Structure 1
């Protein structure tokens, strides 16, 4: 999945984590890798994240906080930043989407960048 907002490209890859999951206990763990590419001529700082997590039962959770994985990365013009995080679901399928709050470090303007919706599906569901 990939989405561009105001010159910022967000790409997402997901991975099912069988070693950290317990299907009989309705615990399914997923990891996701986010790549943030700054295609602007100015540096940006990632201030906040705001996620929505929805499982196959329709249960919706909201996650909000400063930065990502404990950091508020600064991404120079033409550079990229990548991180890996995780999410647990009570069902074998679900999705996530949301926004990042970014700051243009030259003008101090704060703006929102959309995170594309992505699916998390345990491989056993595909059989």
Structure 2
């Protein structure tokens, strides 16, 4: 698990290898990840958008931007948390993801960025 705290918002990530799939006559490596967002600040906040950079060991990079996470824009009061699961396909058995969540602080109406720590995606058979 990797964790990071930005402005009182703690992000924790756990990853899993799910298997291989053929898509468009090419093998893909499927990974899942579970992200927990914990509000350790004194203010209520809402996640509004996300940005991902997805890397594989073949030097492919994919950028993903979108509203919320898995169709939700969670509001977190102080002490609350939100956990969700998602996944991605890579062209190699090893890679990484990094990114950030844009959030709004309801106390001062300011937007701020919460860093998601870089997390590795690796198939067990690909590691020495």
- SS of 2:126's equivalent in the other structure is helix
* Unpaired segments ≥5 residues, structure 2: none
Which position in structure 2 is the counterpart of 1:37? 38
> Does structure 1 residue 22 correspond to structure 2 residue 42?
no
Aligned residues: 125
Distance across 2 between alignment mates of 1:126 and 1:60: 21
Alignment of 1:1-127 (within 5 A): 1-18=2-19, 21-22=20-21, 25-126=26-127
Q: 1:88: Cα distance to partner?
A: 0.6
Q: 1:110: Cα distance to partner?
A: 0.4
1:19-63 deviation line (CA, Å, top 9, x unaligned): xx2379321000000010100111100000000000001111100
Distance across 2 between alignment mates of 1:87 and 1:4: 24
Q: TM-score, normalised by structure 1?
A: 0.94
More helix by share: 1
More strand by share: 2
Q: TM-score, normalised by structure 2?
A: 0.93
Divergent runs of 4+, >3 A: none
* Unpaired segments ≥5 residues, structure 1: none
1:54-92 deviation line (CA, Å, top 9, x unaligned): 000111110000000000000111111100000110100
